[in-house]
Amino acid sequence: MSSAMEQRCYSPVSFNEEPKTSLESENAQLISINTAPTARRQRLRTIWLSICAAVLLSSYTALVVLLARRTVVEDPTHGGRIIKSLAADYVQHEIREIDYLDWNQSAAFFGKPSKTVDSNWHELVKYHNIGLPDSYMQELGREYQGVQFPDGRYFGSLMVYHHLHCLKHIYHALYPEYYADARPAAGQEDEFQKHTEHCLGALKAYVMCKADITIETMLWSPKHSLPLHNVTSTHQCVRWDSILDYAKANNEDVFADGMLVHPTYGAVFKDRKPVNVF
Ligand SMILES: *[C@@H]1O[C@H](CO)[C@@H](O)[C@H](O)[C@H]1NC(C)=O
Ligand SMILES: *[C@@H]1O[C@H](CO)[C@@H](O)[C@H](O)[C@H]1NC(C)=O
């Protein structure tokens, strides 16, 4: 609010009269209410005060609404996060209707194995390898163990990609006849089983950590006596394209020559092929 406006609102009406004592002046005002010219002034004063009050009230309301909107709806940054993430400034949220009986969506990633399913998975996770700044590794106190690239950044990934990898691993495990990586070599069966258990455990922990509190309702079906779930609900979701923006902007090609060099065992890939993988 400008100070000019405040003056307009609060400066007392001046009377072009001889100066009086404060008591006289008050009496004069009380008496003068009935006299015509001062009554007009009083009306004007009331009108001005009403306008000022209306302006003040609407500015205040607009400010409160704006701030609340920025915090609740438009806040593209932290979405209630209290732990720092380098992706926080990228992440945006949206309200999205999800139908868990969307068979096409399920089939695209979990249907019978096919080239299309494989390419969908490839597209989904292709930016999972990213570079982290040195400063972030120092904050975590992990620079001593980090895997550093020649450009000084450290090898990292968003956890969401780990969980997607786990879903893919479990999916592959369902179709060992199609997926070679689901057919452990002789003697490696236990290790493969452990990997699958780790993935299921990680996904359970993740589901409970994020605990989707969207309410689900039940429905009566003409075909069944027991109530069914209505699995279509309105969810508060992270916008996947905002995650992609971060992952893409920080993507690193870890298969390129010289990117992954073990301090003892040397280069891991040569001409994009594993040379030293164990
Ligand atoms: C699902 O896929 C089928 C065949 O690919 C298509 O005909 C149908 O329109 C799709 N349904 C939805 C809801 O996208
Ligand atoms: C679930 O509820 C939505 C309305 O919110 C409705 O459109 C949908 O058809 C319901 N699902 C089933 C299976 O009835």
Q: Among 96, 215, 232, which residue has the most ligand 2 atoms within 8 Å of its CB, making it the best to mutate?
A: 232
Cβ contact 181:172 at 8 Å: yes
Q: Low-confidence residues of the chain, pLDDT below 50?
A: 1-3, 5-7, 10-15, 17-33, 35, 73, 76-78
Please indicate whether residue 23, judged by its CB atom, sits closer than 6 Å to ligand 2.
Answer: no
Question: Cα separation of 195 and 121, whole Å?
Answer: 19
Return d(Cα 221, Cα 85) in angstroms, integer: 45
Contact 157, 163 (CB under 8 A): no
- Would you state the pLDDT for residue 72? 53
Q: Which of these, 56, 68, 98, lies nearest to 216 by C-alpha position? A: 98
Nearest atom in ligand 2 to the alpha carbon of residue 228 is 13
219 touches ligand 2 (CB under 6 Å): yes
> What pLDDT score does 90 carry?
93
Sequence-separated (6 or more) residues with CB below 8 Å from residue 211: none
Residue identified by tokens 């001593």 is 144
Residue 193: CB atoms within 10 A of its CB come to 12
216 CA distance to ligand 2 centroid (A)? 11
Instruction: Report yes or no: 157 and 86 within 8 Å, Cβ to Cβ.
Output: no
Per-residue pLDDT reduced to its tens digit, 149-207: 999 999 999 999 999 999 999 999 999 999 999 999 999 999 999 999 999 999 999 99
Q: Write out the two tokens for 127.
A: 């930016």
Q: From 140, 125, 132, 147, select the one nearest 87 (Cα to Cα).
A: 132
Q: Tokens representing 125?
A: 């996770």
Identity of residue 176? P
* Positive or negative torsion for Cα 42, 48, 54, 60: negative
What pLDDT is stored for residue 77 in this prediction? 44
3-class secondary-structure state, position 185:
coil
The predicted pLDDT at position 181 comes to: 95
Which residues is 19 bridged to in the sheet?
Answer: none
DSSP type of residue 180 = G
- Cα angle 42, 46, 47 (rounded to 5 degrees) comes to 115
Cα(151)–Cα(164) distance, integer angstroms: 28
Q: Which atom of ligand 2 is nearest to the CA of 233?
A: 5
Over the stretch 193-218, which tens digit does the pLDDT of each residue have?
Answer: 999 999 999 999 999 999 999 999 99
* For the CA of 100, the nearest ligand: 2
Nearest to 131 by CA among 249, 244, 269: 249
Its pTM surpasses 0.95: no
Tell me, what amino acid is at 124? Answer: L
Phi, psi of 261 (to 5 degrees): -130, 110
Phi and psi (nearest 5°) for 4? -60, -45
